[in-house]
Amino acid sequence: MTVIWNPLLDEPASRWQALADRLGREQFAPLAPLLDRDQRYPWETIEALVEHKFTGLFLPREWGGQGENLTTTVAAVETLGTHCSSTSAIMCAYQLGAFPILLAGNDTQKNLYLREMTLGRATSFALSERIAGSDAAAIEATAVREGDGWRLRGEKYWIGNGGASRYYVVFAKTDPAAGGRGISAFMVDKEEPGVVIDELSDKMGIRGTQTSNLKLDLVVPDSARVGELNRALRLALQTLNVGRIMVAAQSLGLALAAFREAASRAVQRKTFGQPIGENQAIGFKLADMATEISAARMMLYAAAQAYDQGQDVSNLGAMAKLFASEVSHRVVDNTVQIWGGLGYCKPTIAERLYRDQRILEIYEGSSEIQRLVLSRAVRKEAEEQTK
Q: Which residues are catalytic?
A: 364
DSSP state for residue 334 in the 8-state scheme:
H
Q: Strand ranges (DSSP E) for 96-162?
A: 123-126, 142-146, 149-160
CA angle 14, 15, 17 (to 5 degrees): 65
Q: What is the C-alpha to C-alpha distance for residues 362 and 359, in angstroms, rounded to an integer? A: 5
Q: Is the peptide bond before 347 cis (omega within 30 degrees of 0)?
A: yes
Local structure of 7: helix, strand or coil: coil
Secondary structure (DSSP) of 172-237: EESSGGGGGGGEEEEEEETTSTTEE---B---SS-TTS-EEEEEEEEEEEGGGEESSTT-HHHHHH
Q: What is the C-alpha to C-alpha distance for residues 238 and 251, in angstroms, rounded to an integer? A: 20
CA angle 373, 8, 57 (to 5 degrees): 70
Q: What is the C-alpha to C-alpha distance for residues 261 and 332, in angstroms, rounded to an integer? A: 9
Shortest CA distance to 167 belongs to which of 227, 101, 235, 102?
101
The CA radius of gyration of the chain, in Å to the nearest whole number, is: 21
Sequence letter at residue 110: K
Q: Strand ranges (DSSP E) for the chain?
A: 123-126, 142-146, 149-160, 167-173, 183-189, 195-196, 211-221, 225-226, 270-271, 274-275
DSSP state for residue 363 in the 8-state scheme:
T
